[in-house]
Amino acid sequence: MFCRTGVLLFLSSGAAASVIHEYTVRVDTGLDTMHVAARFEVPIHEVRARSGTAGRYLDDAKRCDTEEVLGYRGQRLDLPRTGVTCIDYVVDLKRAATAERRNASLAKDNIVVSPAVWLWRPPLDSNTRIIVHFDLEDGIDVSVPWRPLAGRDGSYEIPPSPRSARAVAAFGRFVNVRRELQDGEMSIALLRPNGAIDSAAIVDWVHDTASNVSLAYGRFPNPSPQVVVLPVGRTGWQSDSPVPFGRVLRDGGEAIELFINEQRPIEDFYDDWTATHEFSHLMLPYVRPGHRWISEGFAQYYQNVLLTRAGRYDERRAWQKLHDGFERGRNSRPELSPNEAAQRGVGEATMKIYWSGAIIALIADVELRRRSGGRESLDSVLEQLQGCCLPSARRWSGPELFETLDGFVEEPVFMPLYRRYADTGGFPRFEDTLERLGVTVSDGTIRLSNDAELAGIRRAITEPRSGAPREGL
């Protein structure tokens, strides 16, 4: 049995009285077993786990009042027709961790296991909040993407989310810190590898890179993101990059996973674009997979713009990278439209997906700045999107997003571009835009001219902003 020292609460956000369901989550010091106690205010008739494999790791599920053993079918516990008011269950955490690839390169006292595997909960409705409390032994820490509750140590609220990918929870002895961002605070969990790692330098790099995104419009798009950094060394990846892989998870909150090669010198991390790309994703809501060329493309555009504003790239390098990317996009599956490429998936037309969205972001940015004399820009539009709509709890379609962005400007820009290019094969013509900006190309090498018609706009796009981090470390 469990005492009521920690809770997972479902609270009504409306005026009606809240229905409160309380959970306590405990993990032993060996990270072998998780004990969960659920106490429901009203009888519950359905309890599910999100993962289809959750049942493999479920042990000793029972009613706490009668000790009746509860079985499961698929992702659902078998409950009596009258419902239950409390359940206790045990999760084989060690076995669940063994099945998780992320743990292969971590120290034994560090594990990552998704809540989708261990959190069996009732269905939620629009009037509920979820708050999780962890009752952990000294020396054991936890990192989750959920919102920490002020005044309740170890308690977190689970906000609604589009569930783009399953959240991660890290348990064990690792660096787990909170660092301030503009108008917010981020949680950084740096898991420990089997070998040595310069933890302080890696944490500083994560914070500095996240701060780059604030150079778009002066604040970070999410006030409390989770960042999980997983050292993977030089094994298991087809890249020797400092950051061979990263992704955004929007499941009960927004989180960024960064897989790093901790054996690379810290200077190389500052020159890598992966983390900036992933953080840039948070400037947009989750866009449906069939329109992912928008989200990937905008992040691709901003990774180059923001690294230049931060002083990591010089102007020429940024425009060389953008030009080279546009060329790769043009050569990738030219028979497909951006929508067709996104619907087929990344493996079919990776460069088409990433760079068709990037050129449309550039075209929109240039047009906004040109016609408004600099009063409007992609930066200012995304700032208004953040103010009204982010973080978003749902999935957006491409047209819905572009229509929303057009609502922030004097004359539509985004939907005309969508109608022109989204379902059209080939690749948007970019040479004229670059030439007007003063970006010319000779044998694949770009040159910059300050005499071009829109050279001032080119400089405005990439010029350093106040508050940019210093060059180097």
Whole-prediction pTM: 0.93
Helix residue ranges, H only, 390-454: 398-406, 414-421, 431-437
How far, in Å, CA of 135 to CA of 171, rounded?
12
Pairing of strands 226-231, 254-260: parallel
Average predicted confidence (pLDDT) for the chain:
92
DSSP per-residue string spanning 362-398: HHHHHHHHHHHTTS--HHHHHHHHHHHH-S-SS-B-H
Cα-based angle 288, 293, 299 (whole degrees, multiple of 5): 100
User: Do residues 299 and 280 make contact, with C-beta atoms less than 8 angstroms apart?
Assistant: yes
Rounded to an integer, what distance in angstroms lies between the CA atom of residue 50 and that of residue 43?
21
The backbone torsions φ and ψ at residue 466, rounded to the nearest 5 degrees and listed phi first, read: -60, 140
Domains of the chain: 1-102+112-159 (no CATH), 174-282 (1.10.390.10), 284-462 (1.10.390.10)
E strand or H helix at 302, and its extent? helix 292-309
Number of CB atoms found within 10 A of residue 473's CB: 12
What is the predicted pLDDT for the residue at 236? 58
Q: Residue 1 carries which side chain, given as an amino acid letter?
A: M
- Reported as a single tens digit per residue, the pLDDT across 125-161 is 777 777 889 999 999 999 999 989 888 889 998 888 9
pLDDT tens profile 207-221:
999 999 999 999 999
Phi/psi at 367 (5° precision): -65, -40
Task: Give the per-residue pLDDT at 240.
Answer: 83
The confidence score (pLDDT) of residue 368 equals: 98
| SS3 state at 23 | strand
> How many angstroms separate the CA atoms of 2 and 464, rounded?
55
* 17: confidence class by pLDDT, cuts 50, 70, 90: low
Q: How far is CA 55 from CA 46, 95, 102, in A?
A: 15, 12, 20
Contact predicate 229/191, CB 8 Å? yes
| Type and span of the H or E element at 194 | none
Q: What gap in Å lies between CA 312 and CA 270, rounded to an integer? A: 7
- Which residues make Cβ contacts (< 8 Å) with residue 138, sequence separation at least 6? none
Q: With cut-offs at 50, 70 and 90, classify the pLDDT of residue 10.
A: very low
Give pLDDT, residue 130: 76
Phi, psi of 156 (to 5 degrees): -135, 140
DSSP readout, 355-369?
Answer: HHHHHHHHHHHHHHH
pLDDT score for 470: 38
Comparing 3-7, 326-330, 403-407, the range with the smallest average pLDDT is 3-7
| Angle, helices 292-309/398-406, rounded to nearest 10 degrees | 50
104/396 Cα distance (integer angstroms): 35
1, pLDDT greater than 50: no
Q: How far is CA 44 from CA 48, 63, 383, in A?
A: 11, 12, 42
> Does 5 have pLDDT greater than 60?
no
Predicted local distance difference test score (pLDDT) of residue 435? 97
**What distance, in Å, lies between the first and last C-alpha atoms of the chain?**
51
